[in-house]
Structure 1
Amino acid sequence: MQYSWFIGAFYLLYLALILFGFEDLAFYMKPLLVPSLLLMIPFKSVFSAKYKLFYAVLFSTLGDVFLMFRGTLFFVLGLTSFLTAHLMYMMIFKSVRNPIKFNLMYIFSSLIIAVYFCTFLSFLWPHLGPMKAPVFIYAAILSIMLWFAIHSNAPHPFSRFIIILGALSFVISDSMLSTRLFYGTFENAHFFIMSSYLVAQFLLVFGIVKSRISK
């Protein structure tokens, strides 16, 4: 896709600004990061998932903007926006999901996701305070999105692999973000959180468009 290199360079510039301490410049670039992915969506072609993908990008952008500000209200609005974006991704993956077969892959992936969900929530739970319910709901939706990504039936194996990597990167990014917000920060937290987040969004959009999921 012709704009993927431009988007990649744009993301690298943003991450370099964070890494080298130009946080003020990076702050003003942030609302433009995810919308740049719209350049990869073929709106004029026969690709019916493009509207769901557009809304996934839109709500992710809203989530980014809300989380630029401090306060419980902005956090909940950001969480709700990203939850809606995950629902859009789930709808895309669900449209091409294989019929459920209780094979080894199904059992293994479901078990791993469930174990991580329970373990990570148990780790954060004492630190969540009044945010227990919103974080629980969001984490559940994120886990289900990952499950649908793993069990999607994208036409091309490479596209499916890219989609799964994108969903995994989202889980990693949100896990680090939750740790920083509710437990404690760590060295270069902002850089690592945004790196994995941008990789996630890029791979999800790239993989979906590349596979031409059309249902």
Structure 2
Amino acid sequence: MDKPGSFMLYAYALLSTINVWAASKRKWIPFSVSKSFLMLALMGVYSLNSSSVSILVLSALFFAWLGDLLLLTANKRMGQRTRSALYQRSYSFVTGGIAFFICHFCYILTFCQMFESSIVWPYRIIIIVVYLYIGIWFYKSFIQDMSGLNKLIKFGIAAYVFVILLMSYSSIWITTPHNSSSFLPLTGSLFFILSDYLLAIGYKTNSDFRYHPWVMACYLIAQFLIIMGLILLGA
């Protein structure tokens, strides 16, 4: 890595540390400020260290950054109970979810372009069944019984779960036994799933703040592993 690339990597590490610490201490200002720059720093890491910059990867990080900002707006209005505030919070939450949906879709397209898996068909079927089971289990355990959500919102959450599982599934097809770096995006995708799983637990148990630091830590590790894997693979 050259000096600018290393600087952006250190910046991302510092911002991530501040963000997780602020989440654990419920410090809104350092949390919101650090979160606003995290994906921008990771865009810098990717742009300055990748041998060939992909517009799809930059788009994924851009929509992740946009999703972060929209969800920050939703969190900021969490304690407000006026009709306008509730509407704005719902709007920010939905649009933030759409932004992350697009982020995952960009990653899917990236992985499809890099397809070179040596996994034989019987194992592919087994992997598909495993991901389907995870999706069904997540729907029955969390989405189906979520109180306070209408059917349209539940459908949107189910669609998001589908696309994040598809993103993780598609990352398998760039793995090769002779290149350990090819497993970094897959590992990152699993951290992404874990992050959303912890987020769902926090919502269901009405203890969002308790799980928030772990949600952010898993999310930041996920993005970092995916991007570092793509950099090392020359994507």
Q: TM exceeds 0.5?
A: yes
Structure of larger gyration radius: 2
Amino acid of the structure 1 residue aligned with 2:157: V
Contact 1:96 1:153 (C-alpha < 8 Å) held by counterparts: no
Aligned length: 212
Contact 1:35 1:61 (C-alpha < 8 Å) held by counterparts: yes
TM-align CA RMSD: 2.3
**Structure 1: 5+ residue stretches without partners:** none
1:160-189: per-residue Cα shift (whole Å, max 9, x none)? 121111100101111211232345326631
1:139-175: per-residue Cα shift (whole Å, max 9, x none)? 1111100100112246962221211111001011112
Which residue of the other structure, out of 55, 62, 75, is the alignment partner of 2:59? 55
Rate the CA distance shift 1:18–1:108 in 2: closer, same or farther, 3 A.
Answer: same
Amino acid of the structure 1 residue aligned with 2:229: G
SS at match of 1:69: helix
Contact 2:18 2:30 (C-alpha < 8 Å) held by counterparts: no
Partners of 1:75 and 1:156 in 2: how far apart? 41
SS at match of 2:146: helix
Partners of 2:35 and 2:209 in 1: how far apart? 21
Question: How much has 1:104 moved relative to structure 2?
Answer: 4.1
2:35 is the counterpart of 1:30: yes
TM-score (norm 2): 0.81
Q: What is the percentage of aligned positions where both structures have the same residue?
A: 20
Amino acid of the structure 2 residue aligned with 1:16: W
2:141 is the counterpart of 1:117: no
Partners of 1:21 and 1:44 in 2: how far apart? 33
Amino acid of the structure 1 residue aligned with 2:41: S
Instruction: Give the match for residue 127 of structure 1.
Output: 146
TM-score (norm 1): 0.88
Amino acid of the structure 2 residue aligned with 1:135: I
Which residue of the other structure, out of 104, 112, 122, is the alignment partner of 1:86? 104
Contact 1:173 1:197 (C-alpha < 8 Å) held by counterparts: yes
For residues 128-207 of structure 1, the aligned pairs below 5 Å read 129-130=149-150, 131-153=153-175, 157-185=179-207, 188-207=210-229
Amino acid of the structure 2 residue aligned with 1:126: D
SS at match of 1:67: helix
List, as ranges, runs of 4+ consecutive aligned residues in structure 1 with deviation greater than 4 Å. 43-46, 99-102, 153-156
Partners of 1:65 and 1:105 in 2: how far apart? 39
Partners of 1:32 and 1:180 in 2: how far apart? 25
